[in-house]
């Protein structure tokens, strides 16, 4: 008896690949906004997160989950899920930087572990549900 179907494994793999691309863009955006525009790391991370939300929605809709749901409804759900992730992003960054006194890149690494897991669960069960 399989706990996870082969179809679900493929979705997890695709979601992971989209996530790796998104994470790369997120880190590059973070560094760019901090180093070039001298913005704070929390704002910079949040801006990177927003950029990645738009790209990830498109890739996950078309490639990972291959849904034909109404875009407005689906994207609204995706935005809600992403806003939960953004809030979690800011809380983790604030905690790691201000309480744990970690540097911004190490703090972002913690964000990179926590948010994809919660977002995959929400997106699978709610956003892209067929």
> What pLDDT does 103 receive?
95
> What pLDDT does 1 receive?
61
> What pLDDT does 49 receive?
82
Segment 119-124 mean pLDDT: 92
Segment 22-51 mean pLDDT: 94
Surface-to-core class of residue 108, CB atoms within 10 Å of its CB (0-12 exposed, 13-18 middle, 19+ buried): buried
Residue 113: pLDDT over 90: no
Tell whether 1 is covered by a domain. no
Tell whether 112 is covered by a domain. yes
| Residue 83 belongs to domain spanning | 6-127
Q: d(Cα 22, Cα 55) in Å, to the nearest integer?
A: 8
Residue 86: pLDDT over 90: no
Domains: count for the chain = 1
State the chain's mean pLDDT as an integer. 92
Rg, the chain, Cα only: 15
């Amino acid at each position: 008896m399989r706990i996870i179907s082969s179809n679900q494994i493929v979705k997890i793999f695709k979601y992971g690949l989209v996530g790796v691309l998104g994470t790369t863009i997120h880190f590059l955006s973070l560094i760019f906004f901090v180093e070039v525009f001298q913005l704070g790391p929390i704002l910079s991370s949040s801006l990177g997160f927003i950029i990645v939300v738009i790209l990830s929605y498109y890739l996950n809709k078309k490639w990972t989950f291959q849904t034909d749901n109404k875009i407005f409804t689906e994207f609204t759900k995706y935005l809600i899920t992403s806003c939960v992730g953004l809030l979690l992003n800011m809380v983790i960054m604030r905690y790691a930087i201000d309480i744990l006194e970690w540097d911004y890149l190490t703090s972002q690494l913690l964000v990179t572990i926590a948010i994809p897991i919660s977002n995959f669960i929400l997106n699978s069960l709610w956003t892209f549900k067929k």
